Chains A and B, each alone.
Chain A
Amino acid sequence: MIAPTPISANLRIDLKIIAEMIDPHTRVLDIGCGDGELLAYLQQHREVDARGMELSMQGVQKAVARGLAVIQGDADIDLVDYPDDAFDYVILSKTLQATHNPRAVVEQMLRIGRHAIVSFPNFAHWRTRLDLALRGRMPVNELLPYSWYETPNIHFCTIRDFVDLCRTMDVRIKASVSLDADGDVQRFTADSRWANLLGVDAVFLLGK
C-alpha cells in the first residue's frame, strides 16, 4: 500500500490559498505539480478531477505512485496539446519565473482553462530592493536561495509587472492575495502598491 500522505496539516501556505480559490467538483490542471501535494489535497478535499504536469521525472513518479494522473511535461512546450477549455482551473504555482516564455504560458493557461491561478515570488519585495540598492548584489536568501549563475528562475517579475502583463493581455484579475515573509496573508490585495513593496509571494486568480 502507498502510505497515506498527511497533506492538509502542512500544505504549503500558497497552496492552501490556491486550494481555497477552487470550487469543488471541477477539472483542475496543476502545471509544475511536483510530487502532487496540491493535487492530492484537491482530490481529497475538493473532489476535483485532478491532472498534473511536472518536468522532473522524480516528481512525476511520486505523484503517479500516489494515484494521481500526472504526466512528464514542460509548461513551455506541452500545453499546446490540450483542447480549449479543457479545465476549470489551470494552476501554475511558483513556476512562472522558471518558464522561457511566461506570457505565452499564461495565454495557453487561459486558452485551455476557464481560470488560471498563478503564484510567484515578488522581486520588488523590500529586502530584494535593499540587496540590490545597498549591497549591489542579486538577492540570495531563504526565499530566493539560488545564485544567479545556477538559478532555474530566469524570468523574475514584480507584482506590478505581473499586473501590467495582465492589463496588456486583457486578462481579468478576479482575485489576488499577497503573503508576507511568514507566509501570512496580507490585508491589502496583491495588485496594490503596498503589496509590491511588502509582499514576498503573490497569488492571482485570472479569468478571461
Chain B
Amino acid sequence: MPNISATEADAVFRERINAVEATATLCADVPLPLDSGESFGPIEVAYHTYGTLNADRSNAILVCHALTGDQYAVLPHPLTGKPGWWSNLIGPGKVIDTDKYFLVCANVLGGCMGTTGPKSINPATGEPYMLDFPVITVGDMVRLHARLLDHLGIERLFAAIGGSMGGMQVLQFAAAYPERVLCALPIAACARYSAQNIAFDEVGRQAIMADLEWCNGRYLLEDRVPHKGLAVARMAAHITYLSEAALTRKFGRKLQGREKVGFGFDADFEVESYLRHQGSTFVERFDANSYLYITRAMDYFDMPAEHGGNLANAFRDTPVRFCVISFTSDWLFPTRDSQAIVRALNAAAASVSFVEVHSDKGHDAFLLDEPELHETIKGFLDGAAERAGLAFPEASR
C-alpha cells in the first residue's frame, strides 16, 4: 500500500462520491416571493451534490439540514474539520448509497455557510444585511430549494429526507410540491412547532440579544462578535437535543479534573465543561443573526394553520409515499408530533410508514448510528426504488 496523505485521501474520497461544491445565483430575474409578503432576490445558494444523476434524472434525493446544519452532509466541515453531519448515513454502499442516488444538499435561506443570509452583503447598501434581512419561513426555504432543483434540471425528486428542521422542510416540500417528490422522509420532525420549542428558541435569541457585543445586530460592522450570547443559546439548545438518560450515562455527576467540588463557579462538573465546549466551538462556525432568523422561521412553522386548521388538507390526494420516523427519548420533537402527521396522512388516505425508533439519545439520535433508524430508511428507500422501477447509474467504480 502506498502511503497517501490526508489531502490525497480526501481527494480520492471526493472523486469516489463524485462530490461537487457549488454556489448558484438564483431569483435574480424573478425574485423569491416570501411568506411575509416581500419579494427577495438575487439569492446565492451554496450546495453540494454527491453521486451521479441517472439518464432520466429520476434518482435525485434532496437532503435537508437542521437548524445549525449546512450543506456539509458528507464532506468534512471546513471550519471544524469534523466529518459531514450525515456521513454515517450517506456514502458509497451506505444506507443512502452515493453509487445509486444523486444527492443534493443546500445551505438554507438565511444560513451562514454560503447561502444568502444576514451576514451576506446587501447589494443595495454594500453592507451586510444584518437585521435588514427579511424574516423568512420554512416555506420560503423550501420555495428556494425548488428554485435550486429547477436550476439543476431536476423536475422530480426520488426522495426528500431530513431530520428536525430538515424534516419540517421535507413535509413542507411534499405539501407544496406533491408532484415533484416521490418519497418523503421527515425524521424527528413536526407539522406544528410547539409552544415549548418556541420558548426554548426565545431563550436562545434573548441570550444573543442581551450580549452587548451583539450591537443591536450590527456587530459585523463594529468588528465584534456576540460570542457569549451565542454560546449560551447553543448551550441551552444543546440540552434539548439530548435526554436525561443520555446526560446521566455520559456525565452523571462526574467532576471535571478535580477530586471534590470547588465551592466556586468554575466548571466543577463534566457536564458543565462539555456544554461550555459545545457553546464555544459553535460560535466559531455560526452567525448569531442567522441563529435569530432560522429559529424564528421554525417558530412560525404551523402547517395545520396554513390548511384550514386541518393538517390532512395539506395532503389530500397526495401521490407522495411518506416514511415518518420518531425516537422514544426525543422530547423536543416527541413521538406524538410524528403521530399527528401520521394521523393526518391516514385521514388523507396517503401511503405512510411510521416507525418509532427505540433510543435513549434524545433528539440527536437522528444524527447517530442507530441501527433501527438506518434499517428503516434503507428498507423504505429500497422498496420505493423497486416500486418506481428506478434505474441506477452505471457503477461509478
A48 interfacial by beta-carbon distance below 8 Å? no
- Contacts known (A2-B379, A66-B379, A67-B384); A61 close to B347, Cβ less than 8 A: no
Task: Decide: B343 and A67 in contact? CB cutoff 8 A.
Answer: no
Q: Is the CB of B347 within 8 A of A81?
A: yes
Which chain A positions have C-beta within 8 A of B372?
61
List CB contacts (< 8 Å) of A65-115 with chain B.
Answer: 65-73, 78, 81-83, 86
B353–A68 contact, CB under 8 A? yes
B383 adjacent to A68 (CB under 8 Å):
yes
Q: Are A65 and B378 in contact (CB under 8 A)?
A: yes
A window 42-63: CB within 8 A of B: 49, 51, 57, 60-61, 63
B150 is an interface residue with CB less than 8 A from chain A: no
Residue of B nearest to A70 (CB): B353
Among B301-355, those with CB < 8 Å from A are 321, 323-324, 342-343, 346-349, 351-355
Known: A51-B351, A57-B355. A64 touches B380 (CB 8 A): yes
* Mask: chain B, 359-377; 1 = CB below 8 Å from A; 0 = not: 0000000000000100110
Q: Which residues of A contact B382 (CB under 8 A)?
A: 1-2, 67
B258 within 8 A of A: no
**For chain B, which range describes its interface: under 10, 10 to 19, 20 to 34, or 35 or more residues?**
20 to 34
- Residue B355 contacts which of A51, A64, A78 (CB distance < 8 angstroms)? A64
Contact A65/B384 with A57-B355, A60-B354, A82-B346 known, Cβ cut-off 8 Å: no
Give Cα A70 to B375, complex, Å: 14
Task: Kindly identify which residue among B346, B349, B358, B380 contacts A67, using a CB–CB cutoff of 8 Å.
Answer: B380
Cβ of B272 < 8 Å from any Cβ of A?
A: no
Residue contact A61 to B355, C-beta cutoff 8 Å:
yes
- B211 at interface, CB cutoff 8 A: no
* Cβ-defined contact, B387 with A67, below 8 A: yes
Asked if B343 contacts A64 (CB within 8 A), the reply is: no
The answer to whether B380 and A57 touch across the interface, beta carbons within 8 angstroms, is no
In the complex, 24 of the A-B residue pairs with CB atoms within 8 angstroms, ordered by the A residue number, are A1-B382, A60-B353, A61-B372, A61-B375, A61-B376, A66-B383, A67-B383, A67-B387, A68-B353, A69-B353, A70-B354, A71-B324, A71-B354, A72-B354, A72-B355, A72-B356, A73-B342, A73-B354, A81-B343, A81-B346, A82-B347, A83-B347, A83-B348, A86-B349
Among all A-B residue pairs, the 9 with the closest Cβ atoms: A67-B383, A65-B379, A71-B354, A81-B346, A64-B353, A86-B349, A69-B351, A81-B343, A65-B375
